[in-house]
Amino acid sequence: MGLVDLLITPYTLLAIPILYYVLPFLRNWSIRDVPGPLFAKFSSLWLLFQARQGIRYLSVDQAHKKYGKLVRIQPNHVSIADDAAITHIYGHGNGFLKADYYDAFVSIQRGLFNTRDRMEHSRKRKTVSHTFSTKSIGQFEQYMHHNLEEFEKQWDRLATQANGGYARLDALNWFNYLAFDIIGDLAFGAPFGMLEKGKDFAEVRASPDAPPTYAPAIEVLNRRGEVSGTLGCLPALKPYAKYLPDPFFRQGVEAVQNLAGIAVARVKDRLDNPEQSHRVDLLARLMEGKDANGNQLGREELTAEALTQLIAGSDTTSNTSCALLFHVLSNPHVIPKLQAELDKALPILGVPSFEQVKDLKYVDMVIKETMRIHSTSSLGLPRVVTGNGITLQNHFFPAGTVLSVPAYTIHHSEEIWGPDASDFKPERWEKGVLTERQKEAFIPFSYGPRACVGRNVAEMEMMLIVSTVFRNYEFELYQDKLETREGFLRKPMELLGLVRVSDDDAVLTGIQRLLDRISHLQSIVDSRTNDRLKPRLPTMAPKDQEKASLLSPTAYDDDAPDLESDQDPLSDEEDSPDRAREKREERGVFEDDYEDEELGSASQDPGVGLKRLFNPSKNDGKHTLTIKERRAQKRASRRHRERVKRGEEEAELVYDMEEGGQPSQSPSRNSSESDLRRLAAMRAEKSLKKKAGKRPYTRFLLRGSIVLFFLLLLFGAYKATKASQTWHAKVAAALTLSNGTSLFAPTTILISLDGFRADFLQRGLTPTLSRFIREGVSPLYMYPSFPSVTFPNHYTMVTGLYPESHGIVGNTFWDPEMQDDFYYTHPQKSMQPKWWGGEPLWVTAEKQGVRSAIHMWPGSEAHIGGVEPAHMDKYNGDEDLTSKVDRILGLIDLPGPDSPSSRANNPRPQLIAAYVPNVDADGHQYGPNSTEIRQTIRNVDDMLSGVFRGLQERNLTDIVNVVVVSDHGMATTSVERLIQLEDIIDVNLIDRMDGWPLYGLRPKNKDDLWDMYVTLKKNTEHNTNVEVYLTVKDMPKQYHFSKNDRIAPLWIVPQAGWAVVTKEEFDVEKGKKEGLVYHPRENTEIYNIVCDSLGLEPKPNNGTLRLPLKPIGLHTDDGAPEIDIPFDPPSDVLNSITSSNSSVSVDATSLASAFTSTPSVTSPTDAPFSIATAPSTLSSESSESPDATSDDEKKHSPKKWWSWIANTFEDAKAKLSQLFGPGSS
Q: Which residues are catalytic?
A: 790
- Non-local (6+) Cβ contacts of 339 within 8 A are 470, 471
How many other CB atoms sit within 10 Å of the CB of residue 639?
17
178, 180, 243: which is closest to 216 by C-alpha?
Answer: 180
Residues 1061 and 995: their CA atoms lie apart, in Å, by 11
The amino acid sitting at 1136 is S
The amino acid sitting at 1142 is S
Dihedral angle at the C-alpha atoms of 153, 159, 162, 165, nearest 10 degrees?
-150
Query: Per residue, what are the HEC states of 611-648?
Result: HHHHCCCCCCCCCCCCHHHHHHHHHHHHCCCCCCCCCC
Query: Per residue, what are the HEC states of 266-330?
Result: HHHHHHCCHHHHHCCCHHHHHHHCECCCCCECCHHHHHHHHHHHHHHHHHHHHHHHHHHHHHHHH
Residues 756 and 763: their CA atoms lie apart, in Å, by 12
The amino acid sitting at 946 is G
The amino acid sitting at 638 is R
Q: Is 694 helix (H, G, I), strand (E, B) or coil?
A: coil
How many other CB atoms sit within 10 Å of the CB of residue 463?
21
How distant is the alpha carbon of residue 916 from its chain centre? 33
Q: What is the DSSP string of 1031-1097?
A: TTTT--GGG---SSTTS-SEEEEEPTT-EEE-TTT--HHHHHHHT-------TTHHHHHHHHHHT--
Q: H or E element: which one contains 873?
A: strand 871-873
Q: Is 322 assigned to a binding site?
A: no
203, 202, 248: which is closest to 224 by C-alpha?
Answer: 248
858, 709, 887, 906: which is closest to 236 by C-alpha?
Answer: 709
Residues 980 and 1061: their CA atoms lie apart, in Å, by 5
115, 117, 98: which is closest to 686 by C-alpha?
Answer: 117
Q: Is 809 helix (H, G, I), strand (E, B) or coil?
A: coil
Vertex 453: Cα angle to 451 and 458 (nearest 5) = 110
The amino acid sitting at 240 is Y
169, 865 contact by CB (below 8 A): no
How many other CB atoms sit within 10 Å of the CB of residue 5?
8
**391 strand-pairing partners:** 396
Which residues in 256-273 are b (16+ Cβ under 10 Å) and which e?
bbbbbbbbbbbbbbbbee
DSSP 1211: H
How many other CB atoms sit within 10 Å of the CB of residue 130?
23
Give the CA distances from residue 873 to residues 222, 854, 907, 1082, in Å, rounded to whole numbers and listed in that order: 33, 6, 15, 27
Q: Are strands 1059-1061 and 978-980 parallel, antiparallel or unpaired?
A: parallel
Which residues in 546-562 are b (16+ Cβ under 10 Å) and which e?
eebebbbbbbbbbebee
Residues 47 and 29: their CA atoms lie apart, in Å, by 20
Dihedral angle at the C-alpha atoms of 898, 904, 909, 911, nearest 10 degrees?
120
Q: What is the DSSP string of 778-796?
A: --S--PPPSS-SHHHHHHH
Binding residues for heme: 452
Binding residues: 452
